[in-house]
Amino acid sequence: MLKHFVASLSAALILASGTASSAHAANISGAGATFPAPLYAKWAETYKATTGVGLNYQAIGSGGGIKQIKAKTVDFGASDKPLKPAELAAAGLYQFPTVMGGVVPIVNLPGVKPGQIKLTGAVLADIFMGGIRKWNDPRIARLNPGVKLMPLPITVVHRSDGSGTSFLFTTYLSMKNPVWAKKVGASDAVSWPTGIGGKGNDGVSAFVKQTMGSIGYVEYAYAKQNRATFVLLQNKAGQFVAPGAANFAAAAAGAQWSKAPGNYVLLLDQPGPKTWPITGATFILVYRNQANPATGASVLKFFDWAYKAGDASAAQLDYVPLPAAVKTLVRKQWLTNVKAGPKPVYVPR
């Protein structure tokens, strides 16, 4: 299933890229986050069929996407780790969100069904620090009365590449466990105390699938596609909740986009009885001053189309589309933040 999914994803991206001799327009190139890659593949396929314009997107991780847009080797970068306003300004970049989703801990435990294991953020951090080494540890057992926990060694699986998914995950662990915050911290790439590394969400999924007793973290679309065994997490309201679009949307409900400089918004550990605690938006990075206005316009036109026509695909893959008001806000930002000289490169219609 995993190999089929990865092959299908790669094929979709290659198919959508088309050829440089397209009669309609030049193709768009982008690179970065694996978090939204399944959705970008679907959007690209549909957009290619509709407009003749292809998208060549490399799902190399958020860190790689940030590096490539800064190096000007792609038309846009993609990152689940939003850049702070100062970093955006220093690089001459502007960022805007596309969709929202969730990061999900997944496990490989014999006889355990999806949603059967409950964990708190503090215990999850202890596991990823190597402080809890077996699944029948009393700290896990206390959260799971009635569940038969075998004395299996725990194998931690984490990202090996610079990853916005890791940024969201480690930021959440830092919020819930002071020891993690002090010893490991929050970043797209940290010095992991224990475990093995997989490249991309698909790499982590593969290691968890083949390693009995393992635990990792992936974007929800990968967990669902691969029928992975997800855990329930305790949210800020004290409720143990399952991942899913409705609970991601609950976490995003209070986001104050209009008051966030540089669109820097985190959706972690939000209040509310249904919220999934590791929720985040994914972002696109483009240059404020476009050396090639036609290319900049093509990028914005693609995402404008996605805002208009891509919500159904997003929902099918369990991402949360942006609220209409946020889309309107972003479109207005394009007029003043992405220019060629004094003029905007693209005017939404």
Distance separating alpha carbons of residues 256 and 265, to the nearest angstrom: 8
**103-255: CATH number:** 3.40.190.10
Judge whether 134 and 151 are in contact, CB under 8 Å: yes
pTM confidence score: 0.88
Judge whether 228 and 205 are in contact, CB under 8 Å: yes
Q: What is the pLDDT of residue 141?
A: 97
Query: What is the chain's pLDDT, residue by residue, as a tens digit (349 residues)?
Result: 434 444 344 434 443 444 333 334 579 999 999 999 999 999 999 999 999 999 999 999 999 999 999 999 999 999 999 999 999 999 999 999 999 999 999 999 999 999 999 999 999 999 999 999 999 999 999 999 999 999 999 999 999 998 999 999 999 999 999 999 999 999 999 999 999 999 999 999 999 999 999 999 999 988 988 899 999 999 999 999 999 999 999 999 989 999 999 999 999 999 999 999 999 999 999 999 999 999 999 999 999 999 999 999 999 998 999 999 999 999 999 999 999 999 999 999 8
The H-or-E segment that residue 336 falls in is helix 324-337
What phi, psi does 284 have (nearest 5°)?
-110, 140
Sign of CA pseudo-dihedral 319, 34, 336, 268: positive
- Could you tell me where in the chain the CATH 3.40.190.10 domains are found? 2-101+279-344, 103-255
Helix (H, G, I), strand (E, B) or coil at 264: coil
Question: 2-101+279-344 belongs to which CATH class?
Answer: alpha beta
Kindly state the tokens that stand for 109: 């435990």
